[in-house]
Structure 1
């Protein structure tokens, strides 16, 4: 036996064996853990690289962070309704909700914090996943799992654009997803790069205290009124009733799904939402030059439609400069836009999104024959039922390929996937199946279905957005349909397209 194999043998001897290993403790991972804990059938652990749960809502703590989906739709239907203070929840409220979920459901001891996925590979002989995990302190742990659930999400790896000289900027550079208390914004000269969902929330708050705020805008967004409001005490009391909360959730879901007609470019739906955004701009921006600079030149709905009542007013403050071009270079403290205009800055805030189309975690997962998930997805993410991948047995991906929406709640989609995974686990247990792997043919057929559904949507016809894979030009992030159609298509596990291997012990 070689030294390497001796080390591997020792690692396996001290390994933790579970039925399910979950990677990620955001909404998807905690939802999966909640369902497994309630069933009490499968042993499980949750690997989380950070020091707390919450995922996106743990990492994003910039000023003004909030959700743009109503609270009663952006929460688990299987959890008692939370006492939301307003229609749209703040980031802190959502983080508290997730932390309370862990406490109430009683699985905190099965969450391994500060434990990052290093590598996961499928062991064909043992029919299980061998997972190497570790922490920043150098600790190493091995997990042997019959099933692997990747719940790393799409908004976990901040994206920093290539800007000449950025590394030499003497001031602070911070991505909105890495905000911290030491960011010195009061009285500072601040540059914000980007005008997406995070930017429209943080800009009004930074504008209140900055000496000067420069907003670098490559592409102006469509913005509609947010119209948030706080609930009265009577409303809050009524909404704590599970039946009332469920009725509100169902109504909100149906109303949001109706907006999918806009994404198909259907009239009058797309005309109405375009007019709403145009009227909002006209009502809030009087200066014709600024209004023209803020008018998008692409089809509405292709990029995320943003909700804000204070973004446009913030841009018109005397200490705010709207720069209608991208930040191109930095020389010491001087930032130069594509227009050629330059600005002296102390702080650069990157509201530039995430590496969503190509999840970095994919390079750490190897399926049959050692083929990495990143290689399988080299031409863009693909799957079957938006949850399983050919060549990666007993593995489930939550909030991954074609499992998000541009018009409705991600939590509803996650719950649909949870039902699918639980159905698969039930099937393998009842039938004595130790290996469950979707066929390549089924994945290819599903991919063709996605492409056909996507062809007529604004995401492929209206502009270039982060929803589309940068190389294949396929729509890989969004489900090209309604939330209800996703559940109808993918909410129930069907064993027909799977290759199975029986459990040798039970034969």
Structure 2
């Protein structure tokens, strides 16, 4: 059945279609409501909200950013259970936010958007669902995130494996690991959380490492529940904690973007753990990072190295050559018997909006525009794609700090764009090509001096472009997005009403 949900003209505010119900989509929906704008829909392909915090339910899943910084500034939480919140607690926070602001009535769950096309004559985006339905809106906001599509490496023979396989972001809770011979492929952030949790359960655990990550201590602790009396006081301690962690991370990120000496503090934290937590000199050598700090995401864990000391846990650094029906084989010819394979191999992070076919003015394909790597003005707007603003788009990830801070900057900017369109002076806003090109040149120039340009990681497209990370501090991004400059956009005026002179 073909259904249309249209935004009206004649003074009504523009309808906004938000694709994705993670931190970005929920945050924008709240901001729109707080601004008095209620004409929006949140389209979510899953059954409920949550994004990565809905999908990643593996053992030990938790945030590696302190809780007081990993939440909306306009909706702080005073009763976090611990400094680094668990997956369940963060997901509950998002649900509480959605309920508090009445977002359920705007949510369209179990709705996969297959394509989005801009119709210049009507200045509408037409979104086509997997069921053949059409949703229309003046403003399109893809809030799909950078970590939504799991990546499983192509390993010869993987299809012949007769045991159980799972990606960390699609965890099988009905598969009992007790006594199993388990392989964990990958040593990124998810693996660092999974390995200590499952090592005591398995019969034998083999961790396959391609490159050793930097791992720094996790200064975690539990919080005392706030009393009824303390809840009445101003939330000053939480605000000070948020400010302190923000300043700390702003200093750390400069060690990655500008190679400031602050990076040495992180290196020393990792070296300290290597010396104090690993008993075997040979194992310590295997776990010593060879790349420059920050080339790949720095791990935060105080339990990962001790788990590798266990006699029933093996670390393998030889490259994997194939998977057989019951084992993983490495380049030295060794056959490692396993009955369960856990892919902790991250996401197709550089493939922005890969699951969504987007066409702008004149039928221009976004995938073709991004053939050599994604780019967007302020990480949000692309020339030729009017009234489309992305959340957590290209070059808006950060090497240290909270992505929520970056997302809030985008939310404020997009809300300002919706407000501008609501004034009725403009049919659509399209970022000028020369503005977007100048911004991209500046971003790539600054990234060339960053650590991320020195190695291959999920921050870089196959073309070599660093497509994911911001080249400076979050304060710099907040300043750049503080106001919407109409001069940056080609503003197309509204058509005159019938019977009036243009």
**TM class, shorter-chain normalised?**
over 0.9
Runs of 4+, deviation exceeding 6 Å: none
Question: 1:280, CA displacement in angstroms?
Answer: 1.3
- Residue correspondence of structure 1 range 174-213 to structure 2 within 5 A: 174-213=166-205
The question of whether the paired residues in 2 share the 8 Å contact of 1:428 and 1:434 is answered with yes
- Which is helix-richer, 1 or 2? 1
- Say if 1:391 and 1:267 are closer, same or farther in 2 by CA, change over 3 A: closer
Question: 1:430, CA displacement in angstroms?
Answer: 2.4
CA–CA separation in structure 1 for the residues paired with 2:439 and 2:387 = 19
SS at match of 1:170: coil
Q: 2:264 aligns with which of 268, 271, 295?
A: 271
CA–CA separation in structure 1 for the residues paired with 2:215 and 2:228 = 28
The equivalent of 1:33 in structure 2 is: 29
CA–CA separation in structure 2 for the residues paired with 1:191 and 1:32 = 40
The reply to whether residue 16 of structure 1 matches residue 5 of structure 2 is: yes
CA–CA separation in structure 2 for the residues paired with 1:360 and 1:265 = 30
The reply to whether residue 327 of structure 1 matches residue 316 of structure 2 is: no
The question of whether the paired residues in 1 share the 8 Å contact of 2:114 and 2:355 is answered with no
The reply to whether residue 497 of structure 1 matches residue 493 of structure 2 is: no
CA–CA separation in structure 2 for the residues paired with 1:39 and 1:299 = 45
The equivalent of 2:359 in structure 1 is: 366
The equivalent of 1:3 in structure 2 is: none
The question of whether the paired residues in 1 share the 8 Å contact of 2:79 and 2:225 is answered with no
The reply to whether residue 124 of structure 1 matches residue 113 of structure 2 is: no
Q: 1:466 aligns with which of 458, 465, 480?
A: 458
CA–CA separation in structure 1 for the residues paired with 2:257 and 2:390 = 27
CA–CA separation in structure 2 for the residues paired with 1:101 and 1:505 = 41
SS at match of 1:22: strand
The reply to whether residue 420 of structure 1 matches residue 413 of structure 2 is: yes
- Say if 1:146 and 1:42 are closer, same or farther in 2 by CA, change over 3 A: farther
- Say if 1:456 and 1:125 are closer, same or farther in 2 by CA, change over 3 A: same
> How many pairs are equivalent?
490
CA–CA separation in structure 1 for the residues paired with 2:200 and 2:273 = 22
- Residue correspondence of structure 1 range 327-346 to structure 2 within 5 A: 327-346=320-339
CA–CA separation in structure 2 for the residues paired with 1:238 and 1:257 = 30
Q: 2:255 aligns with which of 259, 262, 276?
A: 262
- Residue correspondence of structure 1 range 96-495 to structure 2 within 5 A: 96-134=92-130, 139-233=131-225, 241-264=234-257, 266-361=259-354, 363-430=356-423, 432-461=425-454, 463-471=455-463, 473-495=464-486
CA–CA separation in structure 1 for the residues paired with 2:230 and 2:189 = 31
The reply to whether residue 77 of structure 1 matches residue 73 of structure 2 is: yes
SS at match of 2:221: coil
The question of whether the paired residues in 1 share the 8 Å contact of 2:182 and 2:339 is answered with yes
The equivalent of 1:6 in structure 2 is: none
TM-score (normalised: structure 2): 0.94
Structure 2 gaps, min length 5 = 8-14
CA–CA separation in structure 2 for the residues paired with 1:398 and 1:339 = 45
Could you report, residue by residue, the CA deviation over 1:114-138 in whole angstroms, capped at 9, with x for unpaired residues?
Answer: 001011100111111011113xxxx
RMSD between aligned residues: 1.7
Question: 1:338, CA displacement in angstroms?
Answer: 2.8
SS at match of 2:137: strand
The question of whether the paired residues in 1 share the 8 Å contact of 2:79 and 2:226 is answered with no
CA–CA separation in structure 2 for the residues paired with 1:53 and 1:234 = 27
CA–CA separation in structure 1 for the residues paired with 2:237 and 2:474 = 21
CA–CA separation in structure 1 for the residues paired with 2:36 and 2:480 = 28
The equivalent of 1:63 in structure 2 is: 59
CA–CA separation in structure 2 for the residues paired with 1:353 and 1:491 = 32
Question: 1:17, CA displacement in angstroms?
Answer: 1.5
SS at match of 2:32: helix
Could you report, residue by residue, the CA deviation over 1:400-445 in whole angstroms, capped at 9, with x for unpaired residues?
Answer: 1011111010000000000110111122222521111001111111
SS at match of 2:133: strand
SS at match of 1:356: coil
- Say if 1:443 and 1:238 are closer, same or farther in 2 by CA, change over 3 A: farther
The equivalent of 1:50 in structure 2 is: 46
